[in-house]
């Protein structure tokens, strides 16, 4: 039942929120509900994952030079032992290792993620509760280490935190940037690493959804429009966020998260809106 209007709205929401620490899944769930779509419908879930491909392509394009350097550095280190100490070679291994937790947990918890957790009660509570973690991460983070001093442990910890972001409302970037800050990384480094680790996770999620039979039920036109809109908006969001975190804390997003979370729970408690 998706039409072009739905596609544009969901594309904008996906592009704006995928990489900001406000939870794209939570916002998409709210938007789908507002558009009159069934949030637990498998076709709607599939569509959500498909338009994420637009956002991930935006990151691939924005960080193309960095990604190419990491890929070539990683391959070069495998072939030539002398290159194994370079940042690019190490970063390649860090991204691979940091992606393992989300791959394991994501597959194991898939029925839960696409079922009971697709509730606006969960979204509202997570928006509020994870805001406290973001505040704490900024307060405790020393920001004493840059990208050249990133370690395997950093990547594994940040990668593990991606698993928490499977809960709608937490926010993948909110979880991973917070983890980076708590590991002592500076805000820009934590944000860049969040993007790099998000690439395999989002690509894998999108690929799995593209293989589902529900995809055949989605109208091609609105699906393409949603992906394109998500790409354009996400590209702008990535560029903006990197500039923003260079001079501002992620706590700046906390008031919005709290207002949205409290407002959502109030609407649910008053039966103005249903949870699924």
Q: Tell me the pLDDT tens digit for each residue of 228-273.
A: 999 999 999 999 999 999 999 999 999 999 999 999 999 999 988 7
Residue 238 lies in a domain: yes
Residue 275 lies in a domain: no
Computed over every residue of the chain, the mean pLDDT equals 90
Residue 276 lies in a domain: no
Task: Please state the domain count of the chain.
Answer: 1
Residue 95 lies in a domain: yes
Residue 32 lies in a domain: yes
Please list, in sequence order, all residues whose beta carbon lies within 8 angstroms of the beta carbon of residue 123, skipping any fewer than 6 positions away.
23, 25, 26, 29, 30, 168, 169, 261, 264
Query: Domain of 139?
Result: 4-269
Taking the CA atoms of 272, 29, 36 and 44 in sequence, report the sign of the dihedral they define: negative
Residue 92 lies in a domain: yes
- Is residue 15 a contact partner of residue 54, using CB atoms and an 8 Å limit? yes
**23 or 131: which carries more pLDDT confidence?**
131
- Is residue 130 a contact partner of residue 174, using CB atoms and an 8 Å limit? yes
Residue 186 lies in a domain: yes
pLDDT at 1 over 80: no
Which uninterrupted H or E stretch holds 262? helix 254-269
Residue 35 lies in a domain: yes
Taking the CA atoms of 134, 140, 142 and 145 in sequence, report the sign of the dihedral they define: negative
**DSSP sequence for 175-220:** HHHHHHHHTTB-HHHHHHHHHHHHHHHHHHHHHHHHTSGGGGGS-H
pLDDT reported for residue 49: 79
Q: At 194, is the pLDDT very low, low, confident or very high (cuts 50, 70, 90)?
A: very high
Q: Report pTM.
A: 0.90
Query: Could you report the per-residue pLDDT of 108-148, keeping only the tens digit for each?
Result: 877 777 777 778 899 999 999 999 999 999 999 999 999 99
């Amino acid at each position: 039942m998706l039409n072009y209007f739905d596609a544009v709205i969901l594309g904008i929401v996906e592009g704006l929120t995928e990489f900001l620490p406000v939870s794209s899944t939570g916002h998409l769930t709210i938007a789908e509900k507002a558009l009159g779509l069934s949030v637990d419908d498998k076709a709607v879930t599939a569509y959500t994952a498909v338009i994420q491909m637009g956002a991930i392509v935006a990151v691939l394009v924005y960080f193309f030079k960095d990604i190419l350097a990491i890929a070539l550095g990683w391959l070069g280190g495998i072939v030539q032992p002398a290159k194994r100490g370079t940042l690019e070679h190490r970063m390649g291994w860090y991204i691979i290792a940091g992606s393992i937790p989300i791959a394991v947990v994501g597959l194991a918890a898939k029925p839960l993620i696409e079922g009971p957790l697709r509730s606006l009660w969960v979204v509202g509570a997570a928006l509020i509760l994870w805001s406290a973690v973001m505040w704490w991460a900024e307060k405790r983070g020393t920001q004493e280490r840059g990208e050249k001093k990133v370690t395997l442990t950093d990547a594994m910890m940040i990668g593990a935190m991606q698993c928490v972001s499977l809960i709608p409302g937490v926010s993948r970037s909110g979880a991973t940037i917070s983890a980076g800050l708590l590991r002592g990384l500076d805000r820009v480094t934590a944000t860049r690493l969040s993007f790099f680790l998000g690439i395999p996770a989002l690509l894998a999620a999108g690929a799995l959804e593209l293989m589902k039979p529900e995809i055949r039920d989605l109208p091609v036109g609105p699906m393409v429009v949603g992906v394109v809109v998500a790409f354009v908006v996400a590209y702008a969001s990535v560029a903006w966020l990197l500039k923003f975190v260079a001079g501002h804390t992620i706590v700046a997003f906390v008031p919005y998260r709290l207002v949205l979370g409290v407002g959502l729970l109030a609407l649910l408690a008053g039966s103005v809106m249903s949870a699924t």
